Chains A and B, each alone.
Chain A
């Protein structure tokens, strides 16, 4: 079975990836074969998950000075002062479609 092109496009959009039409076809076929294989999971014993004793343990959430602050910024493609700089949420003169908050 192949995944439908619509399923591949939806998963790619969730992944923030753009595929060419050729890649969509290729991935639909390849991922379809993999999903077929994964469907065999239905043939095996399952158990309900037990609560992880480690979950629910919360680390302290106290702000701490990080002496490496400048090193973190040093890897950024663009910075302004002590901040990471990013393109505008909405392109100059852009439409609502470029703004995820409006989608």
Chain B
């Protein structure tokens, strides 16, 4: 990996601003690394070489003219394929959006560009963000840089793999039930899901509108903090974005976690953890305590219902959100005998199995005769879950869990059993449903060297405290290992 790309985002941008390195050199290093590892990794669906080099040249020109450069000057960033950039492809890793070029730019992306970030490409994902392994992409498999025979997690697997492999120091993902945190965990990097409403979702292709959030993936906590600080804040284009003031995410981030009360959930099924994860979890709790946190046992009784709530509510919303893909305004069209037949033929040809399965499940849960038993009940259990979290956060500052029950699983291991795949999100869905802020940070490795991860959750809009605790943990754990892209692949 290039030494430049190993730098934290703030240091890399400072080097560009100070003229120690040009934006072009940084972007060329990133593009060179992509060319080197991509045949084995498969993290990118599109590499935007011309646009990236043009953006870098413009930044270098401005520096030569003595103009002020932004906080992300020359920093190469990858974006998940469900985030729009004007004039560029956005495809959600789906055949139904083949050829689509967005007329507008996502607010989160635009805010990063305004600080002179350079977007280098769009990363692979599970189709329409529906999956936990990146294997549901219509186009390619992405491999885990720590072991190429394993999944990178999902649905933001391409973004996590790209960061872990040293292609970019920062990538954007989206998280509906764990789609930033779970791949960050499997790839040994940091992933942050902000509070629902903290970051505008304008320009994010909708999946589950009551739970979707955009967030950063990076190798260190400060880089994610900086990205969040820039992206956060209200946006007239997204009525669900919060008008709350955005505090600095970096001020005080290095002040430690002494005195914080960290809740440990009675409902976490520690017996269901892989042995290495169970050991890493115990060690993480001991580390938090040694750093000065007070561990407090708490209860959020509806946590074991989270997966079931999630798969009713998110898929019901998906069945409505994905109704727009019908061959009329964009993407694929397969002509049928009439309009109705064209809709059906287009959707049948354009969507993959997992997307069809989830749309059908959502339509079933919303249909006459089943609505009260499924959607209505799930909403009621969710309301109780939110209330239970409110009560818990009256007693603690943060809640800790493992991010996943174990390390990255093998490619193909769970593709035949959708329910088993869904259950890999068991620790991440509660924070999504309750609209909390949550992040994944590395906390260990199993005997094969695969990363293991700790999840920290905070009450809504308490990202600054969350980041402070994550930073203290990171500094003490001193995670410095970089993956070597080992393991045989079909492509190798």
Contacts and interface: CB of A to CB of B under 8 A. Distances in A.
**Interface majority SS (helix, strand, loop, mixed), chain A:** loop
Contact of A40 (B240, B305, B367, B379): B305
Contacts of A7: 364
Given A34-B361, A46-B383, A78 B338 contact: no
Contacts of A86: 328, 339, 342
Contact of A76 (B330, B384, B387): B330
Contacts of A87: 335-339, 341-342
B132 interface: no
Contacts of B328: 76-77, 84, 86
In this complex, the interface size class of chain A, counting residues with CB under 8 Å from chain B, is: 35 or more
For chain B, which range describes its interface: under 10, 10 to 19, 20 to 34, or 35 or more residues? 35 or more
Nearest to B197: A54
Given A15-B360, A16-B343, A45-B384, A37 B419 contact: yes
Given A59-B239, A78-B333, A88-B339, A47 B380 contact: yes
Contact of A16 (B335, B347, B364): B347
Contacts of B356: 12, 15, 17, 19, 27
Interface in A70-96: 71-72, 74-78, 84, 86-91, 94
A42 B378 CA distance: 9
Contact of B381 (A12, A30, A41, A88): A41
B93 interface: no
B374 A17 contact: no
A17 B301 contact: no
Contacts of A74: 101, 103
B452 interface: no
B418 A46 contact: no
Given A44-B305, A86-B339, A99-B340, A38 B329 contact: no
Interface string B252-265: 00000000000000
Interface string A27-61: 10011011101101111111111100010010100
Contacts of A10: 367
Contacts of A15: 319, 347, 356, 359-360, 362-363
B377 A77 contact: no
A2 to B, nearest CB: 13
B336 A76 contact: no
A40 to B, nearest CB: 6
Given A15-B363, A37-B419, A98 B332 contact: no
A65 interface: no
Contacts of B338: 87-91, 94, 98-99
Contacts of A91: 337-338, 341
Nearest to A100: B340
A15 B364 CA distance: 9
Given A17-B360, A38-B308, A44 B381 contact: yes
Contacts of A30: 357, 418-419
Given A16-B344, A41-B378, A72-B103, 15 more contacts: A7-B364, A10-B367, A14-B363, A16-B340, A16-B343, A17-B344, A27-B356, A34-B422, A47-B380, A49-B379, A57-B239, A72-B329, A77-B330, A94-B337, A98-B338
Counting from the closest, the 8 A-B pairs by CB-CB distance are A46-B380, A71-B103, A77-B333, A47-B383, A75-B330, A91-B337, A11-B364, A98-B338
12 contacts: A15-B356, A15-B359, A33-B419, A45-B388, A50-B383, A59-B239, A75-B329, A84-B328, A84-B329, A86-B328, A88-B338, A89-B339
Interface of B: 99-101, 103-104, 239-240, 301-302, 304-305, 307-309, 311-312, 319, 323, 326-333, 335-345, 347-348, 351, 356-357, 359-364, 367, 374, 377-381, 383-384, 387-388, 418-419, 422
